Structure 1
Amino acid sequence: MHSILPFLLAMIMVIVLLNMWAAKLKIAYPILLVVGGLLISFIPGLPMVKIHPDLIFFIFLPPMLFEAAWSISFKEMKKWWRIIGSFAFLVVFFTALSVALVTNYLLPGFTIGLGFLLGGIVSPPDAVSTGAITKFVKIPNSTSAILEGESLLNDASSLIIFRFALVAVGTGQFIWQDAALSFVWMIVGGAGIGLLLGWIFVQAHKYLPTDAPSDIALMLIEPYFMYWIAEQVHSSGVLAVVSGGLFMSARRLIFLSSTSRIRAFSVWESFIFILNGIVFMIIGLELPEIIGGLRSKGIPLSTAIGYGVLVTGILIAARIISSYVAMAATLIFRPSVAPAVSSSRTRWTIPLFLGWTGMRGVVSLAAALSIPVAFDNGIAFPNRDLILFITFVVILLTLVVQGLTLPYFIDRMGLSGQIFNEEAEESAKQKMKHGLKEHVYKFLKNKYDNELNGHAGMEKFLKHWEEKSKATDDSWMNEKTKVIFVELLESQRQYLTELNKNSSINEELIQQQLYQIDLEEERLKVI
């Protein structure tokens, strides 16, 4: 422990420094973290960082999925549910099937079961990598919502494939009837458990006398509870965390105070950043040991690299093909839901862009590392080191090749602006603020008209909102006006919640304004 702890602390410091360097270079930080971990691994005398395969999912996945569920726009997910569902389930299965068939045919010793196992590992694109890369370029809100929604659900579908394949490899048989029933239970049971626990946690936050520190502490352990309980009854822990997280996120204004929401945002942002950084560093740190395992099995490094490049090519091709099939099917069967674009050329570049966003990362690594070293009977798991190495090559190539070229493709394809016929972001923001200003003024006039007349402080209060001025003197804010101000802020939240039902308003703008209202309420507490 005394040797590992300084190393872990140093690792976090390296993660922070590499993130700062990546921001300066304007490239995605996962790229530098993987490469940095690989270079650090060659330093002699470093302690081995080992995580038990059974714990890899439990440690990293629940909080990452929970935070993603809180960050995503559920309104946009509902709007684009068809394409999100097809990418999260159909495309993942098609990708895993393609990997299984090709590897079974070309890789010596690879059965269909091992092929599906590898396919389940490398089929889900990584939300962290895509988000880190696309933050340096502007893409349409709809495209961003599709990528975020897909990444939230494809983890569940790919891990279901992975677990079925793991059982098939271990037992040597695959019973379709049992698998179908298990599949249904994993989906229905996982989602149901997540919703039930989400409701229980909402009630706990709402009715227990919690404060901000206790709210945040509970939120940190809630995704682990969701995941663990779902896994105990053999359903999908991933779906439990996702469904529970979405349920709680939609009700955050009900059961969390403004203090809890503000502080939780900062805590979770830092916590998830550290977890992501550790995972991407582990990818690089694990490579020398994986290469040693390959050499012990007599597999040349050049051959293993070739296998990794082959699988990467399959993944890219399968995703691009699926994207074009999805677009064609939408235009044929449901043209009314197809994205409205400026030109036909632009419409047919969207699938190419979606196909090129398939960077792999955290989930693929976690799945690969969770493969047991040996079966219960002591027999070594077949081709484990090769699967780990191929996974590493896939992650490295997709991050470096696709990640570094994605901004160029976005610019060349003309996707850097709002290609969909949505309100321009700045115009929508101004419209929202103007509507909010009118709502505030009407609220004060209708409810506190008597108090406003003849009261200097109240008249100044009204003038503050009518003119939307930045008052620097808070001496006029007495206890009476504080009560009204808090009530006014709550009224604004209700107004924005109703406004969010308008499909033309970007939910991200709503969330930003709600955060500003929370900050304003916190400012009142120190006046």
Structure 2
Amino acid sequence: MHPTQLFELVIVMFLAIIALHYAAHRLGLPPSVGLLAGGAALAFIPGLPTIAVDPELVLVIFLPPLLMDGAWSIALARLRRHLIGIGSLAVGAVLFTCVVVAVVTHLLFPSLPWAACAALGAIVSPPDAVSARAVLQRVKLPRRLQILLEGESLLNDASGLVLFRFAVAAGVTGAFSATEAVGSFFVLALGGALVGAAVGTAWVMLVRRLGDEYLIIAATVLLSWTSYLLGEMLHVSGVIATVTTGLIASWHQSNVLSASTRMRGTSFWEVLVFLMEASVFILIGLSLRGVVERGGGFGVVVSTMGWDILAILVALTLARFAWVFGSDAAIKLCNLLGLQRYKPIGARGSTVLSWAGVRGVVTLALALSIPDGFPGRDFILVTSFAVILVTVLVQGTTLGWVIGWAKLTEPDAEKPRLTMSQAEAAMAQVQFAIVQTLAYDSQGELIHPKLLEKYQRKAVAIVDYAERTEHYTPLIHAHFDVVLEAVACGRRELIRLHRAGDIDDETLHELERDLDLEELSAMSAKA
């Protein structure tokens, strides 16, 4: 394909993303479902060349920024609190699922080497960070389940990648050592954490010295790829390196980034992540044509592989249910024995957690990276794609219904000690105290009476609001509705003045920025 044609195809893909995302929104479907189905439909348009996805390139381009985004936005306190549960899912569930899928595959195909069966298990065992984000953005979960799923999706790729590499090596060389595999996993994980810590610390030091907002934003955008590539270059886990870097950057960003940098950077980053996340599902859909052609066409795939693939899908799903319910039963047993650190999430919570195992780009990339001549390569590729399709199209669309059925509630232990209104009241009290100190000169004369009055009135009002939130909420909404209408009216007048030639472009943009900030502030306060 000519480079110009490739660029044209990328532009068409971005336009398709906008159209499919809008269509999914109008139909009430998860965007990932619309994008995947749309990409699959586009793949079979006559005249469109078959899309050959380079698995290594896909992982390098898409995985680091999406992992970084997840690590940046994750709740660190809850991550530490539930680290054992996250580790159980990210390592234990992946390993258990890999073993179950390998055993079932070997029962279906006794002639297939164990290494090939294990490779398939490693490919389909880790739920995907991109797919998990796409699903979780549309549902409301209790904090504990939310952090378990987010943490699992960030860390389980490392487990899957290690298992896959050892399985492929065993299939090629015929040698496998479980002890070596376990030792290698811990070395890769520890090395990745050290690399990520070094890169994250270097970013904090660099940002403190850079004075230009755009340089800071550019350095932050490149942070994920830097950490991932450096980790892979040093032969440790690039996934763990990227996640560690993201956690460190997230922890320090409030101190090292200015408000303006944070606003501009966040806006740019959110658009970038949106396009990359959507592109992943489009690429998965576009890859369908090549996968089906390798299997001999839809008819051949369904007739020769259909029941075997269905059996593996059932085993994959039941394995996750078994691990989650078994872990919850183990917690209940520990409670009976007097160990009360963790509380069980119950049958309904376990059902939601089990049903949320959606696969995506990592599964596709690993399947495509299987070397030619590897035993059972075509079956592994078709099965992996079927797992992605079923989990995204079925579990992704029904997870909201499952959550609604479960009627989950937030345990008191997971709720923050202060509400948002109480936190605002605490901030207002501190702000008033410092203004009260600085409002007087060295002779004790009041030099900022209006400022002092403003902050005193604000502190009193917010404390009163925190104590009677339900009473004031309708009044607050009505107040900021008026503010937003005033902003809209001011914007119309500003545009009229500009169109009439009474003000220049510089004045338009400066005053427009002030109105934008006022509108954002009012919308935030109303929400």
TM-score range, shorter chain: 0.7 to 0.9
| Alpha-carbon distance between aligned partners in 1 of 2:225 and 2:73, rounded to the nearest angstrom | 18
Which residue of structure 2 aligns with residue 203 of structure 1?
205
Instruction: Quote the offset at 1:424 in angstroms.
Output: 8.2
Task: Determine which structure has more spread, i.e. the larger CA radius of gyration.
Answer: 2
2:512 corresponds to which residue?
none
Q: Does 1:397 align with 2:390?
A: yes
User: Which deviations, in whole Å up to 9, do the C-alpha atoms of 1:345-398 show, x marking residues without a partner?
Assistant: xx22211111111111122122222333x3xxxxx2333232221111111111
How much has 1:5 moved relative to structure 2?
1.4
SS in 1 for 2:287: helix
Cα pair 2:101 2:121 within 8 Å, conserved: yes
Identify the residue that residue 279 of structure 2 maps to in structure 1.
Answer: 278
2:321 aligns to what? 320
Residue identity in the other structure for 2:46: P
**Matched residues in 1 for 2:355 and 2:302: separation?**
27
TM-superposed deviation, 1:24: 2.6
Separation in structure 2 between the aligned mates of residue 212 and residue 309 of structure 1, nearest angstrom: 52
Check the 8 A contact 1:202/1:248 in 2, yes or no.
yes
Residue equivalent to 1:337: 341
Query: Are positions 1:418 and 2:417 aligned together?
Result: no
**CA shift digits 1:287-330 (9 cap, x unpaired):** 12212111299964333233332222112101111111111111
Rate the CA distance shift 1:368–1:264 in 2: closer, same or farther, 3 A.
farther
Contact 2:331 2:344 in 1 (8 A): no
Please give the residue correspondences for 1:152-171 in structure 2 after superposition, counting only pairs within 5 Å: 152-171=154-173
Q: Which amino acid aligns with 1:331?
A: K
Deviation at 1:443, TM superposition (A): 2.7
Aligned-partner residue type, residue 153 of structure 2: S
Q: Does 2:349 match 1:350? A: yes
In the other structure, the counterpart of 1:510 is none
User: Are 1:429 and 2:420 counterparts?
Assistant: yes
Cα separation, 2, equivalents of 1:37 and 1:297 = 17
How is 1:177-196 mapped onto 2 (pairs within 5 angstroms)? 177-196=179-198
Secondary structure in 1 matching 2:296: helix
Q: How far does the alpha carbon of each residue in 1:126-166 deviate from its partner, in whole angstroms, 9 at most, with x for none?
A: 23333333444322112111111111111111111111112
Deviation at 1:108, TM superposition (A): 5.7
* Matching residue's letter, 1:80: H
**Residues 254, 459 of structure 1: alpha-carbon distance in 2 compared, 3 angstrom cutoff:** closer
Equivalent-residue separation in structure 2 for 1:399 and 1:51 (angstroms): 19
Residues 224-243 of structure 1: matches in 2 within 5 Å? 224-243=225-244
SS at match of 1:260: helix
* Residue 465 (str. 1) matches residue 458 (str. 2): yes
Amino acid at match of 2:50: M
CA contact (8 A) 2:50 2:290 kept: no
Contact 2:192 2:237 in 1 (8 A): yes
Paired residue for 2:71? 69
Distance 1:264 1:166, change over 3 A: farther
Which secondary structure does the structure 2 equivalent of 1:336 belong to? coil
Corresponding letter in the other structure for 2:155: L
Q: Could you tell me which residue of structure 2 aligns to residue 304 of structure 1?
A: 305
Question: Quick check: 1:283–1:365 contact (8 Å CA) kept in 2?
Answer: yes
Offset, 1:464 = 5.6
TM-score (norm 1): 0.81
1:211-226 superposed matches below 5 A: 211-226=212-227
SS at match of 2:356: coil
Instruction: Please tell me whether the aligned partners of residues 57 and 370 of structure 1 are also in contact (alpha carbons under 8 angstroms).
Output: no
User: 2:62 pairs with 55, 60, 63, which one?
Assistant: 60
Aligned positions, number: 463
Distance 2:113 2:360 in 1: 25
Structure 1 position 27, deviation (Å) = 2.3
Amino acid in structure 2 at the alignment position of 1:265: T
Aligned partner of 1:367 in structure 2 is 366
Q: Pick closer, same or farther for the CA change 1:306–1:448 going to 2, 3 Å.
A: farther
Q: Match for 2:162: what amino acid?
A: I
Per-residue deviation at 1:445?
Answer: 2.2
**Identity score, percent:** 33
How far apart are 1:98 and its partner, in Å? 0.6
CA shift, 1:421, in A, is 4.9
- Offset of 1:87 from its aligned partner? 0.6
Unaligned runs of 5+ in 1: 342-346, 375-379, 474-515, 521-527
Cα distance in 2, alignment partners of residues 210 and 315 from structure 1: 51
List aligned pairs for 1:122-133, cutoff 5 A: 122-133=124-135
CA distance in structure 2 between the partners assigned to 1:424 and 1:112 by the alignment: 48
Corresponding residue SS for 1:85: helix
Residue 453 of structure 1 contacts residue 459 of structure 1 at CA under 8 Å; is this kept in 2?
no
In the alignment, the residues of structure 1 paired with residue 79 and residue 310 of structure 2 have an alpha-carbon distance, to the nearest angstrom, of 33
3-state SS of paired residue (1:173): coil
Shift of 1:73: 0.8
Cα gap change, 1:413 to 1:420, in 2 (>3 Å):
farther
Residue number in structure 2 paired with 1:481: none
Q: Distance in 1 between matches of 2:128 and 2:377?
A: 22
How much has 1:79 moved relative to structure 2?
Answer: 1.2
Distance 1:314 1:96, change over 3 A: same
Secondary structure, counterpart of 1:393 in structure 2: helix
Q: Could you tell me whether the CA contact under 8 Å between 1:153 and 1:239 is conserved in 2?
A: yes
Equivalent residue, structure 1, for 2:492: none
Q: Which amino acid aligns with 1:350?
A: G
Aligned to 2:375, which of 382, 403, 417? Answer: 382
In structure 2, the CA distance between the partners of 1:414 and 1:103, relative to structure 1 (3 Å rule), is same
Please give the secondary structure, in 1, of the residue aligned with 2:103.
Answer: helix
- C-alpha change, 1:457 and 1:297, in structure 2 (3 Å) is closer
Using a 3 Å threshold, how does the CA distance of structure 1 residues 435 and 339 change in structure 2: closer, same or farther?
farther
- What secondary structure, in the 3-state scheme, does the structure 2 residue paired with 1:3 have? helix
TM value normalised by structure 2: 0.81
Query: CA 1:75/1:40 → structure 2, altered by over 3 Å: closer, same or farther?
Result: same
